[in-house]
Amino acid sequence: MSKQPRFYLIAIVQELIKKSTDRLTILSGKWEDIRAPLMTQYRTLKADSENKDIEATQLLDEIRIMRERMKELADETRLKDDLYKQLVRATTLLLLLKTGSNFGDFSFLWY
């Protein structure tokens, strides 16, 4: 094979490589035009999702605290109700004693 056909083939291959490189550069630019807004949208949606996760966690913490407080208040209410019943019994007994009422059946005071 002579040198001239080799140079001709090399020139053809070099031209094909140049065209492929140019085409790849054009496609890369088009891809970036498409990718850039998508990445911006992705980052925005990701940030929104993270913010919602944080808000949900905070709400769950608040609910947990409120439930604990509700239990405390229920216990406090039971205690105060028991104290109130004791006070009513003691007051009733004192009134009966003070008025000199007949000391009949006082079992109703110990419910």
Q: Is the whole model's pTM more than 0.75, yes or no?
A: no
Q: Is there a contact between 95 and 109 (Cβ–Cβ < 8 Å)?
A: no
Do the domain assignments include residue 33? yes
In a domain, 3, yes or no: no
The CA-based angle 57-62-67, given to 5 degrees, is 125
Residue 93 lies in a domain: yes
Number of domains the chain contains: 1
What is the mean pLDDT of the segment spanning 5-23? Answer: 92
Check: CB of residue 93 under 8 Å from CB of residue 106: yes
Q: For residue 24, what are its two tokens?
A: 């790849």
Look up the domain containing 94 and give its range.
9-98
> 92: which residues sit within 8 A by CB, 6+ positions away?
109
Per-residue model confidence as pLDDT tens digits over 54-104: 999 999 999 999 999 999 999 999 999 999 999 999 998 888 888 876 655
Structural domain includes residue 74: yes
